[in-house]
Amino acid sequence: MNEADKEPVSALAREWRRLRGDFWDFGMLSWIPVVLCGMLWLVFSAGIARDLPIVVIDNDNSTLSRQLTRWLDASPGIKVAAKVASSDEALHRLRERTAFGYLLIPNDFEQKLLGGRQATVQWLYNAQFSSHAGALLRDVRTVSTTLSAGIEMTARAKKGMSGVQAAAQFEPIRTTLNSLYNENISYEAFLTLALMPAMLQIFIVVAVVTSIGRELRDGTAPQWLASASGSWLRAIGAKLLFPLIAYCVLALLYLLFFSLARGWAVAGSLPALLLSMLLLVLAYCGLATLLIAATLSLRLALSGAAFITAPAFAFAGQAFPLMAMPAPARAWAEALPLTHYLQLQTKYWLAGAPWRYGVQEMLILAGIAIGCGAVGVFLLARRANAPAAWGRT
């Protein structure tokens, strides 16, 4: 059989052989992302932090102060690890990270409250562990407010008010607080779901850059091109096909896992979410092609991949909001496909938006895919088949 006969399939067959022969490269398309994403999910699988340790300095040691301590311990997010005598001891616990905050109850706590005066409790917390502290602050405040309201109601009842009347009196306008789409502030919904595509984009860029970069580094670009009967489109298409399939399957896997097994059902438009996932994979295939085409060096392109993809989550606006970023950071964030995809995912998956709310972001993703991809193919076609482009390490 001569070369011409098997040309249409051979670029693909050649790539498949290369992948099968390389344990790690094949792993990067299959089990490695599954293992790493699984590990990330495991980290946050509890969803809500429970029983975070705090300590209490109870200078009053009265019925009311002990009640406050008991209520704190009973709160699901809090564990009163110990009662300590002094702030020094409490700070030691904080520095040791065996407690993340301490409540200071003053010595005249009960006396003041029974006398109808106001008593102040101080909550001192480790703000260096911001997410621990955030969860604790909410719970500690709730417990103290509940106790406070109870005392106030009792006081009014003593003055001869009925319970209903007292309740209406002491807070004329009540507030119901609602965290939309994520009632319990679960980290699984807010963080893990967003981390999965953040991992995916890393793998896509690394895989595409590696598969094209190898040909350049090893100087095998002519054979590669020949296997695609001289068509750059076909040659690059063969390189992109396996990562494209692998990462679309992975995207589907994480969609199925979280929506079916973990109960985060897709509340909005499912077709739009699926299309967004495809566009994410395509956009990063395009970006990776451009990266290797512009550098013509596997090492440089991988360094570029590290620079673009590894910190991308920090810029994507999920943990720290885009609107608070300075202009240069905001501009970089807007240039990353991940930023736009995560907005789409948030809307369609959990917030329940209909498809038309993401058209703009989808157009941006498609634009990046086509724009970067076209320039990448053009540059590779112009430069990759020359000895000057080979062997760079």
Partner 1 sequence: MMWKSFLATWRAMLTDKGALTLLFIGGIIYSFFYPLPYSTEIVQRVPVAVVDQDRSAMSRQLTRFAMAHPSLQVIAVTPDLPVAQDLLWRDEVMGVLIIPDGLQTDVLAGRAAHAQVAGNGLYLMLNKVALNGLAEVVGTVSAGIELKRLGAGTPSGIQANEQRSPIAFDAVPLFNVKEGYGAYVVPGVATLIVQQTLLIGMTMLFGTWYQRKSFPVAGTRTAGGYMGMLLAFACVAFLNCCYFFGFVFWFQDYPRGGNFGGMLLLLVLFSLAEAAFGMLLGMLFRTRERGTQLMIATSMPVLFLAGLTWPVSSMPVVLQWLRWLLPSTAGIQGFVALNQMGASLYEIRHEVAGLLALLVACVALGWWRWRAETPAPIVQQR
> Comparing C-alpha atoms, which of 272, 278, 282, 274 is closest to residue 356?
272
Q: Which of the residues 302 through 341 are near partner 1 (CB under 8 A)?
A: 302-303, 305-307, 309-311, 313-315, 317-321, 323-326, 328-329, 332-333
Nearer to partner 1, 109 or 224 (CB): 109
Nearer to partner 1, 320 or 378 (CB): 320
125 counts as binding partner 1 under rule CB under 8 A: yes
The Cα 389–Cα 237 span in angstroms is 20
- Using CB under 8 A as the binding rule, whether residue 369 contacts partner 1 is answered as no
Q: Is 166 in the site for partner 1 (CB under 8 A)?
A: no
- Name residues contacting partner 1, limited to 200-259 (CB under 8 A): 202-203, 206, 210, 213
Residue 42 touching partner 1 (CB under 8 A): yes
Distance CA 25, CA 28 (A): 5
Q: How many CB atoms lie within 10 A of CB 218?
A: 13
Residue closest to 243 by CA, chosen among 289, 192, 272, 285: 285
CB of 171 to partner 1, least distance (A): 6
**Torsion over CA of 236, 237, 239 and 244, rounded to 10 degrees?**
140
* 292: contact with partner 1 by CB under 8 A: no
Decide whether 263 or 328 has the Cβ nearer to partner 1.
Answer: 328
Q: Is 134 in the site for partner 1 (CB under 8 A)?
A: yes
Our finding on whether 97 is near partner 1 (CB under 8 A) is yes
Coil, strand, or helix at residue 59? coil
Residue 266 as a binder of partner 1 (CB under 8 A): the answer is no
Instruction: Report the distance separating Cα 63 and Cα 72, nearest Å.
Output: 14
Measuring CA to CA, which residue among 366, 365, 368, 347 is closest to residue 357?
Answer: 347
* 155 vs 375, beta carbon nearer partner 1: 155
Task: Identify the residue among 9, 34, 36, 245 touching partner 1 (CB under 8 A).
Answer: 36
Q: Is 267 in the site for partner 1 (CB under 8 A)?
A: no
> Whole-angstrom Cα distance, residue 151 to residue 157?
10
Q: Which residue has the tokens 């098997």?
A: 6
- Candidates 298, 336, 364, 389; binder of partner 1 (CB under 8 A) is 298
- Cα 153 to chain centroid distance, Å, stands at 43
Tokens, residue 110: 């009960």
| CB closer to partner 1, 61 vs 378 | 61
Residue selected from 45, 67, 107, 223 as contacting partner 1 according to rule CB under 8 A: 45
Select from 301, 112, 308, 111 the least CA-distant residue to 202.
308
Asked if 43 is part of the footprint of partner 1 (rule: CB under 8 A), the reply reads yes
CB of 2 to partner 1, least distance (A): 33
Among 347, 365, 369, 376, binds partner 1 (CB under 8 A): 347
